[in-house]
Amino acid sequence: MTDSRPSIGSAPAQADGVVISLDAMGGDKGPQVVVAGLEAFLAETPGARVLLHGPEQVLTPLVRKLGDRVRIVHAPGAVAMTDKPSQVMRTGKDTSMWSAVDVVRDGRAQAVVSCGNTGALMAVSMLRLRKVPGVNRPAIACLWPSRNPTRFNVMLDVGADIRADAEDLLVYALMGTSYARQGLGIARPRVGLLNVGTEEHKGRQELKDALELMQEAAPKGEFDFVGFVEGSDIPSNRVDVIVTDGFTGNVALKTGEGTATLIAGLLREALNLGPLSKIGALFSMRAPDRLRLRIDPRRVNGGVFLGLNGTVIKSHGSADATGVAAALTLAHRLATAGFAGRLAARVASAVALAQDNGTDGGATPATGVEAPQEQQR
Amino acid sequence: MTDSRPSIGSAPAQADGVVISLDAMGGDKGPQVVVAGLEAFLAETPGARVLLHGPEQVLTPLVRKLGDRVRIVHAPGAVAMTDKPSQVMRTGKDTSMWSAVDVVRDGRAQAVVSCGNTGALMAVSMLRLRKVPGVNRPAIACLWPSRNPTRFNVMLDVGADIRADAEDLLVYALMGTSYARQGLGIARPRVGLLNVGTEEHKGRQELKDALELMQEAAPKGEFDFVGFVEGSDIPSNRVDVIVTDGFTGNVALKTGEGTATLIAGLLREALNLGPLSKIGALFSMRAPDRLRLRIDPRRVNGGVFLGLNGTVIKSHGSADATGVAAALTLAHRLATAGFAGRLAARVASAVALAQDNGTDGGATPATGVEAPQEQQR
């Protein structure tokens, strides 16, 4: 597995020790597009190596020109978008998704990327990687375009579980803090709790309880807690991490995407109406391009599963090569940071401290939070 | 109260019999802006008359040039944005908001518009107007820019109540259907139930229960039920009415607004960068104008409270004159349609039929729905 040949579009480089596991079969657009994204990623990341999972006879011709930084792991089956997670858990051992998760379990790769069925990927990941001690419900975190200098905010949960109680929301705050630190390089993230108003008396009881838990946990958790935030704050620069349950988070995520799509469509129509507008559009063509670079969902492609013993990244099923490459780049960044281990240490120490303080660590890991192993990189 | 003098910007007209009640004191920008919106509304709607509530000494100089289509109703107090609804219910009798609601209760006006504190307006409206029989939780409906020919979809509840059970959601479907018919002129609205996926096995139990209730109610309720929809469908042309609880709806509404604001800001920056873009922006200036006309929240300003014995419209607190005028125009349209009575008849007949069928009408008004008094106008 040495880099004996030049890789595409880049000088030969030493392997950086990071191996990413990639499910070739998950995407709506087929393995060709996944491999095209892989090719772009390899060109940008000279040190990385990849284990590619799928049917050998399909993948071998596709990866021939990628050199020996890519190894195929044969898996004859594929998970369909319509497969039920419970079914995949029972009968999915021969699938590329299962194989891709399993090499992370075995320590042969440090992170896995799949464009496949979200529910199935979460189910297989929970089964094979197991939850980190102290985490009751794993969460999916996304990056949301924002007004912050990093250009993104972290939001979780965006769909792993439709329920979350106050303790789950606190764990989400800790995990989101870890992700903002390792994924966006924010030393002391500001955490907000999504609600229908910013007044403390508003909202559901579990949100009021979570508010108190987070206020207590913030000093030792090394985050700033800004209290309740509203939907309009999600893309703002008031906050770096937005915590909510997976039902609300999923609706918000898709509402944001739907709104962006509507506006983009109307803008295109507006620019295409009338001769003067057309001339204007020609001149200002670079402006929409700049806008697109800023909010293009393909460039922030990848929901990260948090709370498992291993880094799992779910790319959009409809991701094109740019999207797949973005997800691989994120996986590489998090793997290099030793992200999964740092997050586990943070949650574990929160639970341990809560137990030291004589409370029930499983139910209220909130009274003391410290994560000595986690430093900003 | 005859139109003896020409009104601003329009020919003299016969009163159309519709009287709108307007709270002059609710908005963030003060009564001057509310009155400027009133002036624009009167110019566009020659037959309408308005009762304007607030301190006589403040309002008299402002309305002098508006003619006798506007009558001041003196109310010395005002509800502040920070006042608690419970406090206003106890001690708010002298406020302009209370007075504005009360003239609808007394039959002196057919609809009320306020830019004030949403919680207080809902509390005062519930106390003075009372809920329609068969409605357990009133809802706030908003108009959402969409791909439909009417350019808008109806979404409810966007914040009246943070809870909703399956029966509440069914009543929301019936009320939203009425609103789409009278407010947007859609003969047979398509109703969708907001969830995290479109598969029937997904989501919370109350949503699965509500799905069944709506499937049963659709034929007699004269709406088409499209099943579960996702956040991305809210601005789509798959659906005319989106039903959800007030927590989720409020987060979605504010997330949509926040996303639109982010994109508008980034677009402005993109158009201002670089000389070529600036030339382009000059030429395509009319394109953003067209876009703004299409999605400008000021032009769809007004959440409508549904389920009360009277039409109540909550305008944005920060509404400018255009926003206030839009809310008044919507109020006039609904008042002309006899909207509150039609909606009450629709809900009442649904409950009556459920009782005829031997089920508990209060809990499950779902088994039969008919609303002979409601016709599309």
Which tens digit of pLDDT belongs to each residue from B165-207? 999 999 999 999 999 999 889 999 999 999 997 666 677 899 9
Which of A296 and A152 is assigned the larger pLDDT? A152
Residue A228 main-chain phi, psi, to 5 deg:
-70, 140
* pLDDT grade for B131, boundaries at 50, 70 and 90: very high
Residues of B in Cβ contact (< 8 Å) with A253: 231
Residue to substitute from A152, A266, A271, A284, interface B, most B β-carbons within 10 A: A284
Fold held by A136-299+339-377: Isopropylmalate Dehydrogenase (3.40.718)
Q: What is the pLDDT of residue B377?
A: 37
How large is the average pLDDT for residues A287-302? Answer: 55
The yes-or-no verdict on residue B9 having pLDDT over 60 is no
> What percentage of residues in chain B have a pLDDT greater than 90?
58
Closest Cα in chain A to B193: A251
Q: Rounded to whole angstroms, what are the CA distances from B242 to B131, B141, B152, B219?
A: 22, 10, 11, 18
Q: What is the pLDDT of residue A297?
A: 53
Token digits for A265?
A: 């469509």
Strand partners of residue B303: B314
Which of B88 and B197 is assigned the larger pLDDT? B88
- Topology alike, domains A1-129 and A136-299+339-377: yes
Contact B227, B211 (CB under 8 A): yes
A302-321 pLDDT, tens digit per residue, is 789 999 999 999 998 778 89
Strand partners of residue B112: B21, B312
The yes-or-no verdict on residue B320 having pLDDT over 50 is yes
B61-67's contacts with Cβ under 8 Å and 24+ in sequence apart are B62/B31, B62/B32, B62/B35, B63/B35, B63/B38, B65/B8, B66/B7, B66/B8, B66/B35, B66/B38, B66/B39, B66/B42, B67/B3, B67/B5, B67/B6, B67/B7, B67/B8, B67/B42
Residues of B in Cβ contact (< 8 Å) with A261: 232, 235
Q: What is the pLDDT of residue B221?
A: 86
The yes-or-no verdict on residue A272 having pLDDT over 80 is no
Residues of B in Cβ contact (< 8 Å) with A146: 262
Cα separation, B88 vs B193, in Å, equals: 34
Annotate chain B with three-state secondary structure: CCCCCCCCCCCCCCCCCCEEEEECCCCCCCHHHHHHHHHHHHHHCCCCEEEEEECHHHHHHHHHHHHHHEEEEECCECCCCCCCHHHHHHHCCCEHHHHHHHHHHCCCCCEEEECCCHHHHHHHHHHHHCECCCCCCCEEEEEEECCCCCCEEEEECCCCCCCCCHHHHHHHHHHHHHHHHHHHCCCCCEEEEECCCCCCCCCCHHHHHHHHHHHHHHHHHCCEEEEEECHHHCCCCCCCEEECCHHHHHHHHHHHHHHHHHHHHHHHHHHHCCHHHHHHHHHCCHHHHHHHHHHCHHHHCCEEEECECCEEEECCCCCCHHHHHHHHHHHHHHHHCCHHHHHHHHHHHHHHHHHHCCCCCCCCCCCCCCCCCCCCC
Nearest C-alpha neighbor of A129 from the set A307, A303, A304: A307
| Sequence ranges of the domains in chain A | 1-129, 136-299+339-377
| A257 shares contact with chain B (CB less than 8 Å) | yes
Q: What is the pLDDT of residue B319?
A: 80
Question: Any alpha helices (H) in A273-299, and if so which ranges?
Answer: 275-283, 286-295
Q: What is the pLDDT of residue B373?
A: 40
Query: What is the pLDDT of chain A when averaged over all its residues?
Result: 83
The superfamily (CATH) of domain B136-300 is Isopropylmalate Dehydrogenase (3.40.718.10)
Cα separation, B323 vs B316, in Å, equals: 8
How large is the average pLDDT for residues A193-202? Answer: 79
How large is the average pLDDT for residues B225-235? Answer: 94
How large is the average pLDDT for residues B313-326? Answer: 88
B239-293 pLDDT, tens digit per residue, is 999 999 999 999 999 998 888 888 777 777 766 655 555 555 544 545 555 555 4
CATH among 2.60.40.3620, 3.40.50.720, 3.10.20.310, 3.40.718.10 for B16-130+307-338: 3.40.718.10
Residues of B in Cβ contact (< 8 Å) with A85: none
DSSP three-state, residue A350:
helix
| B260 shares contact with chain A (CB less than 8 Å) | yes
Amino acid at A320: D
| A276 shares contact with chain B (CB less than 8 Å) | yes
Residue whose pair of structure tokens reads 């958790």 in the numeric block = A221
Which of B267 and B375 is assigned the larger pLDDT? B267
Query: What is the pLDDT of chain B when averaged over all its residues?
Result: 83
Token digits for B267?
A: 């677009």
Q: Which of B146, B251, B291 sits opposite A194 (nearest CB)?
A: B251
Q: Rounded to whole angstroms, what are the CA distances from B311 to A292, A341, B99, B342?
A: 42, 57, 15, 11
Closest Cα in chain A to B287: A270
Residues of A in Cβ contact (< 8 Å) with B203: 162, 247
Residue whose pair of structure tokens reads 């020996």 in the numeric block = A68
Instruction: Tell me the shortest Cα–Cα distance from B96 to chain A, in angstroms.
Output: 24
Interface confidence, given as ipTM, is: 0.81
Cα separation, B97 vs B114, in Å, equals: 7
Cα separation, A247 vs B195, in Å, equals: 8
Interface of A with B in 97-156 (CB under 8 A): 145-147
* Strand arrangement of the beta sheet that strand A139-145 belongs to: A70-74, A49-54, A19-23, A111-114, A311-314, A303-306, A139-145, A152-156, A241-243, A190-194, A224-229
Task: Give CA torsion, residues B143, B147, B149, B154, to 10 deg.
Answer: -20
Helix (H) or strand (E) holding A157: none
Q: Rounded to whole angstroms, what are the CA distances from B373 to A215, B95, B310, B335?
A: 54, 36, 17, 16
B61-78 pLDDT, tens digit per residue, is 999 999 899 999 999 999
* pLDDT grade for A375, boundaries at 50, 70 and 90: very low
Residues of A in Cβ contact (< 8 Å) with B231: 250-258
Instruction: Tell me the shortest Cα–Cα distance from A129 to chain B, in angstroms.
Output: 24
Q: Which of B248, B267, B280 sits opposite A281 (nearest CB)?
A: B280
The yes-or-no verdict on residue A54 having pLDDT over 60 is yes
Q: What is the pLDDT of residue B14?
A: 62
Q: What is the pLDDT of residue B278?
A: 53
The yes-or-no verdict on residue A300 having pLDDT over 90 is no
Cα separation, B20 vs A377, in Å, equals: 62
| B91 shares contact with chain A (CB less than 8 Å) | no
CATH among 3.40.50.300, 3.40.50.450, 3.40.718.10, 3.30.360.10 for A1-129: 3.40.718.10
Lowest average pLDDT, out of A16-30, A243-257, A303-317, A349-363, goes to: A349-363
Cα separation, B162 vs B249, in Å, equals: 9
Instruction: Tell me the shortest Cα–Cα distance from B163 to chain A, in angstroms.
Output: 9
Interface of B with A in 288-307 (CB under 8 A): 288, 290-291, 294-295
Q: Which of A258, A282, A295 sits opposite B232 (nearest CB)?
A: A258
The yes-or-no verdict on residue A209 having pLDDT over 60 is yes
Token digits for A313?
A: 């990244």
Residues of A in Cβ contact (< 8 Å) with B252: 231, 251-252, 255
> What percentage of residues in chain A have a pLDDT greater than 90?
58
Which of B323 and A20 is assigned the larger pLDDT? A20
Residue A236 to residue B259, Cβ atoms within 8 A: no
A341-365 pLDDT, tens digit per residue, is 888 888 887 766 665 554 443 333 3
Instruction: Tell me the shortest Cα–Cα distance from B105 to chain A, in angstroms.
Output: 29
The yes-or-no verdict on residue A291 having pLDDT over 70 is no
The yes-or-no verdict on residue A239 having pLDDT over 50 is yes
| A261 shares contact with chain B (CB less than 8 Å) | yes
* pLDDT grade for B41, boundaries at 50, 70 and 90: very high
Which of B29 and B364 is assigned the larger pLDDT? B29
Q: What is the pLDDT of residue B139?
A: 95
The yes-or-no verdict on residue A278 having pLDDT over 80 is no
